[in-house]
A and B are shown apart, each in its own frame.
Chain A
């Protein structure tokens, strides 16, 4: 059974850096084809994939946020970490950690999500 759980601050101030950690079980990021990503959803709005990292350290970022995002993996800890710099109130959203296979175009497994509010 695949599980993913997000952790990180619930509140950050504008201009600060957000660090989110996804801790997962039921699969390994050292297995060929495996990917872990982050999808965010502002309150009442649509979903947006912002970053992905694959088993081979291939990293993807949404172009509009690429300069502010860094995604890394720690295979030994079964964790993926996302950092987002220069946070803005517009970044207020629920951030979901997801599991994806590189040969599929969809997401099969989601974490419960963590709400991050950007406010002074």
Chain B
């Protein structure tokens, strides 16, 4: 079955740029979505359709999909960005929603 691979953790200093990757077989042909989850809270959609931001999500959050990896980029990282981030696709072969294992973003 289709598997999405994320690094377990990413650390970045405030004001720097964080990049969180999501790898999958032929992910270039999939549409990728990203969620932010803070401790004890429900996930929040931060990017959909690879790079679109829902209303209320800062422009600091952006997405790209070069090659076989999707990337969530957070510019000018703030302490409030510290959270777990999950990528997600709809796997057409199984006709089901799949999530990556999640990446814990630590702001140093």
Contacts and interface: CB of A to CB of B under 8 A. Distances in A.
A46 B42 contact: no
A93 to B, nearest CB: 13
Residue of A46, A49, A108, A112 with most chain B CB atoms under a 10 A cut-off: A46
Contact of B33 (A48, A105, A113): A105
Contacts of B48: 104, 106, 108
A12 B11 CA distance: 38
Interface residues of B, number: 23
B21 interface: no
Interface residues on A, range: 10 to 19
A110 interface: yes
B45 A48 contact: no
Interface string B87-100: 01110001111011
A104 B49 CA distance: 9
Nearest to A46: B101
B106 interface: no
A104 B86 CA distance: 17
A47 interface: yes
Contacts of A104: 48
Contacts of B49: 106
Contacts of A47: 35, 43, 86, 88, 99, 102
B73 interface: no
A63 interface: yes
A113 B42 contact: yes
A60 B97 CA distance: 11
Interface in B35-60: 35, 41-45, 48-49, 54
Contacts of B69: none
5 contacts: A45-B101, A46-B100, A46-B102, A108-B48, A111-B42
Interface of A: 45-49, 60, 62-63, 96, 104-108, 110-113
Nearest 9 pairs between A and B by C-beta?
A105-B90, A110-B42, A106-B33, A49-B97, A47-B99, A46-B101, A106-B48, A46-B102, A46-B99
